[in-house]
Each structure stands twice: as structure tokens, then as C-alpha cells.
């Protein structure tokens, strides 16, 4: 089992668009047999700062999903107008000692 953490900084006023995009991504993830669960967290101390945590059966299942056409379709929204900076991701393998960068 792995947990993927995805940190996003959203342009002020675009939080609703980001959250709607996340809902589309989560529907695509739920259709994948390797996906366990995902959650969207909003930082109450830093407006526009979000963390998505996503659990997967294993790293191979996650990597296959992010290379899939289904993933490409739901992530081809207006990132340039919604995100303040490039997202930061990390992967924690529950069978290892700590996170490994993605």
C-alpha cells in the first residue's frame, strides 16, 4: 500500500474551480481497481493551499493510473489559470521507512 500526497497552491478566487476539478479526478480514481481512497484537505491557515491524499494498492497501480487516458482527460482543465505554482507530490510506501519523492 502507498499513500500519495499532492500539494497545490490555488490562485485566489479559483478555489471552487479547483475543488470541482478534484471531484472529476476522484471519480476517475474510484473507477481504478488499484485505488483505495482519496481525500481533499484545505489548509485553514493558508488560503488557497490544498493537500490531496490518495491511497493505492501499490506504486505500480498508481503509476499506471497517472499514465492512463482516463487520468489525462480529467486533468486537462485550465491549470494555468487555477494553480499559482507547480504542484509538489510525494509518495509514502507503507512497506518502507519514509516518503520518497515522486
Domain ranges in the chain are: 2-95
Structure confidence by residue, pLDDT tens digits, 42-89: 999 999 999 999 999 999 999 999 999 888 877 766 677 889 988 899
Q: What pLDDT score does 78 carry? A: 65
Class level of CATH domain 2-95 = alpha beta
CA distance 77 to 81: 9
> What mean pLDDT do residues 23-40 have?
92
Contacts of 98 (CB under 8 A, 6+ apart): 92
Amino acid at each position: 500500500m502507498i499513500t500519495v500526497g499532492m500539494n497545490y497552491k490555488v490562485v485566489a478566487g479559483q478555489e471552487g474551480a479547483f475543488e470541482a476539478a478534484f471531484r472529476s479526478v476522484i471519480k476517475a480514481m474510484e473507477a481504478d481497481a488499484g485505488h483505495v481512497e482519496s481525500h481533499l484537505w484545505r489548509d485553514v491557515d493558508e488560503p488557497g493551499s490544498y493537500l490531496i491524499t490518495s491511497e493505492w494498492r501499490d506504486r505500480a497501480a498508481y503509476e499506471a493510473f497517472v499514465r492512463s487516458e482516463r487520468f489525462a482527460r480529467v486533468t486537462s482543465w485550465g491549470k494555468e489559470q487555477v494553480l499559482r505554482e507547480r504542484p509538489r507530490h510525494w509518495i509514502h510506501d507503507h512497506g518502507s521507512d519514509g516518503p520518497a519523492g515522486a
